[in-house]
Amino acid sequence: MSRPRRVVILGSTGSIGCQTLDVIRRLREAGQLWEIAGLAAGRNVERLAEQVAEFTPTLVSVADAAAAAALSRQRPRQSVVHGEDGLLEVVTSGDAELVVNALVGAMGLAPTLHALDRGCTVALANKETLVVGGELVRERLNAGCGALVPIDSELNALWQCLRAGAPQEVERVVLTASGGPLLHLPPGELDSVTPDAVLAHPAWRMGRRVTVDSATMVNKALEVIEAHFLFDLPYERIDAIVHPQAVVHGMVEFLDGAWIAHLAPADMRLPIAHAITDAKRHNLSLPRVGPGALDGLRFLPLESRRFPGFGHVLRAARNGALARAVANAADEVLVDRFLGGGIGFTGIADGLDRVVSEWLASHASDVAERPTVDALLAADSWARRFAGAYASP
């Protein structure tokens, strides 16, 4: 790399953002030139101030004016913006060529579209970008606007496996799921589990919502939707299975019957490094899979009785973009309510069923193939209100 690669990181204080900065730190130690053009975070000013001190970004965006004022007190020479406009402004800061989108929620869609319109490569860890706005993203990619590479471990694994053959040679792709911490708990005991038990993921270190989504398997349904748009595959050719050891992250079956599988440690820094370095491989002194990890690998069916939320989200997916936005927003609210003690664990899937069913019954004609951003945000708001009022039976 003869000149520094300039990167913007959205969601820099979250799990993926912090691990991305660790990868860049390691790449620098290996002699590569990287510059942080911009950082965006919410309200974790203390951690953001530490990142600003180390990486000296051109511009920083935070959630609101209060967070901006707090950061300015700690780093008075740092240029700071805030709010939704600030997110878009930081995407354009310093002529960055790479945007890492690790935001949480539907707020991640607009910055992705903005970055693609500018011709940037977007390394994507924000599921909502494709779950909510997949058609809008696909439209830009088909027109040659920018590029999109997946950070999520399973999607990045499929991206790597798919390089083994031409698109027309692919029979199907398979996403794996660890099953989360409740995999072997009897279904009748699921509603009594505590948030602490659900957040104790056996394999991955992730944010709170995605950890709960891993236990309900909603996370896997969202990844099926992402794969649909990323790889331009129909839902019927995207499968999901449970793989408790979390060693195999994705598999592709080709027309001749051959399989290509991706095996790696459960460490998000590996797919992050692969995504942000244009699919190049570097020895960053990260953990490796030893031969012993390959003994006794198990693959189990994804049972609908244990994971009903998976089916509720895919039912929404098959009914268009607005229904997908509804399912995604409802899940976000329901997960927050579970973590706050407002509903039981099974109330997440029950609430999803209720919200999606109500939307499909009352908005049967709202199946626009190319919805506007305003329509998507309106569906998101509707779902948040409905899910916020949901009461567990």
Task: Give the CATH number, domain containing residue 167.
Answer: 1.10.1740.10
- Both 135 and 170 in one domain: the answer is no
Residue 329: the pLDDT is 94
Residue 273 in any domain: the answer is no
Q: Measured between alpha carbons, how far is 150 from 152 in angstroms, rounded to an integer?
A: 6
pLDDT (0 to 100) of residue 346? 95
Predicted pLDDT at 104: 86
Which parts of the chain sit beneath pLDDT 70?
A: 1-2, 204, 365-369, 393
* 354, 257: one domain: yes
pLDDT value for 393: 63
Write out the DSSP string of 106-167. Answer: GGGHHHHHHHHHTT-EEEE--THHHHHHHHHHHHHHHTT-SEEEE-SHHHHHHHHHGGGS-G
- Please report the pLDDT score of residue 282 as a whole number: 86
99, 125, 150 - which closes a domain: 150
Residue-range definition of the domain harbouring residue 136: 5-150
Q: Counting beta carbons within 10 angstroms of the beta carbon of residue 119, is it exposed (0 to 12), middle (13 to 18) or buried (19 or more)?
A: exposed
Number of neighbours of residue 17 by Cβ within 10 angstroms: 26
The count of domains in the chain is 2
Domain assignment present for 284 = no
Q: Which of 150, 168, 199 is the last residue of a domain?
A: 150
Q: What per-residue confidence (pLDDT) applies to 295? A: 81
pLDDT (0 to 100) of residue 93 = 86
Domain boundary residue, one of 135, 150, 165: 150
The CATH number of residue 57's host domain is 3.40.50.720
Note the pLDDT of residue 367.
63
* pLDDT at 289 (0 to 100): 83
Rounded to an integer, what distance in angstroms lies between the CA atom of residue 112 and that of residue 99? 8
pLDDT digits (tens, 9 = 90+) for 84-101: 999 999 999 878 999 999
What pLDDT is attached to residue 208? 86
**202 burial type by CB count under 10 A (0-12 exposed, 13-18 middle, 19+ buried):** middle
